[in-house]
């Protein structure tokens, strides 16, 4: 009887620590009390390191996140920023910010492949030639103390093309983008992408990008 009780307590203890580890790994979503929005950056030439540092400092004081995203569609590209409207309002004229609806919502999410990645050299993205309606998105979420989370998404109607584009981005010969092993499906990672979640994982190395590297990655 005592042996069974000890085994039961051991199972409870193991379950507790596994649950605790899972909670630590779960992404942190932006504070719902902060009014966030998405903006197109029309004056990317004015988006310099000084402005990025100031925006991130303001966000850190508010315990908010900033998400910088570069979007490729066919032969075109654009840069957008997601962040607190109160903070970004100060840069509306300087950066030519234009408020947008979330572009993820307008697409069939079953045709999107999402992944968390690290980047050895953000100035070099091995982007394959895209058809007119095919898309690649690169997201850098920046949190307090300049913690970063990098995600890549591929949109294509043809599932074969979707995988081909994704594999081209991860081409081992260039070795610039590395897929990170995470306990989430592509659908879950797409939800984190749309929420602009900042990962809280403590058990693995987080991607690290400085201001200069982020600017090289997201500027058109």
Express each pLDDT in 116-169 by its tens digit.
Answer: 998 776 666 778 899 999 999 999 999 887 888 999 999 999 999 999 999 988
Q: For the chain, how many helices (H) and strands (E)?
A: 7, 8
Q: How many CB atoms lie within 10 A of CB 176?
A: 18
Task: Kindly report which listed range (9-13, 61-65, 176-180) carries the lowest average pLDDT score.
Answer: 9-13
Give tens-digit pLDDT for 102-114: 999 989 999 999 9
Give tens-digit pLDDT for 26-57: 455 555 688 999 999 999 988 998 999 999 99
Q: Which residues contact 92 (CB under 8 A, 6 or more apart)?
A: none
Q: Give yes or no for residue 209 having a pLDDT over 70.
A: yes
User: What pLDDT shows up at residue 200?
Assistant: 56
Residue 168: phi and psi, rounded to 5, are -65, -35
Residue 179: phi and psi, rounded to 5, are -70, 130
The answer to whether the predicted template modeling score (pTM) of the entire model surpasses 0.75 is: yes
Give the CA angle between residues 67, 19, 200 to the nearest 5°: 20
Residue 177 pLDDT grade (very low, low, confident, very high; cuts 50, 70, 90): confident
The rounded distance, in Å, linking the Cα atoms of 86 and 113 is: 32
User: Of 138, 179, 130, whose CA–CA distance to 157 is shortest?
Assistant: 130
- Answer positive or negative: Cα dihedral of 212, 214, 216, 219: negative
The label of the residue with tokens 């066919």 reads 74
Average pLDDT along the chain: 82
Q: Beta strands of 36-111 (E only): which ranges?
A: 36-41, 66-73, 76-84, 97-100
User: Of 22, 18, 29, 17, whose CA–CA distance to 199 is shortest?
Assistant: 29
């Amino acid at each position: 009887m005592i042996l069974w009780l000890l085994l039961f307590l051991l199972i409870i203890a193991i379950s507790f620590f596994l649950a605790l580890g899972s909670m630590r790994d779960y992404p942190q979503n932006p504070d719902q009390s902060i009014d966030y929005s998405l903006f197109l950056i029309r004056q990317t030439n004015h988006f310099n390191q000084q402005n990025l540092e100031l925006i991130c400092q303001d966000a850190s004081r508010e315990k908010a996140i900033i998400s910088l995203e570069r979007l490729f569609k066919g032969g075109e590209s654009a840069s957008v920023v997601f962040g607190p409207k109160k903070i970004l309002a100060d840069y509306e004229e300087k950066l030519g910010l234009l408020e947008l609806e979330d572009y993820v919502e307008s697409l069939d999410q079953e045709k999107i492949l999402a992944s968390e990645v690290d980047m050895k050299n953000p100035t070099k993205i091995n982007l394959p030639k895209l058809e007119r309606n095919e898309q690649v998105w690169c997201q850098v979420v920046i949190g307090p103390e300049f913690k970063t989370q990098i995600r890549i998404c591929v949109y294509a109607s043809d599932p074969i093309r979707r995988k081909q584009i994704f594999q081209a981005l991860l081409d081992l010969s260039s070795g610039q983008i590395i897929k990170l092993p995470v306990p989430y499906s592509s659908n879950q990672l797409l939800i984190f992408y749309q929420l602009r979640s900042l990962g809280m994982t403590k058990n693995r190395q987080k991607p690290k990008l400085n201001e200069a590297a982020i600017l090289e990655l997201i500027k058109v």
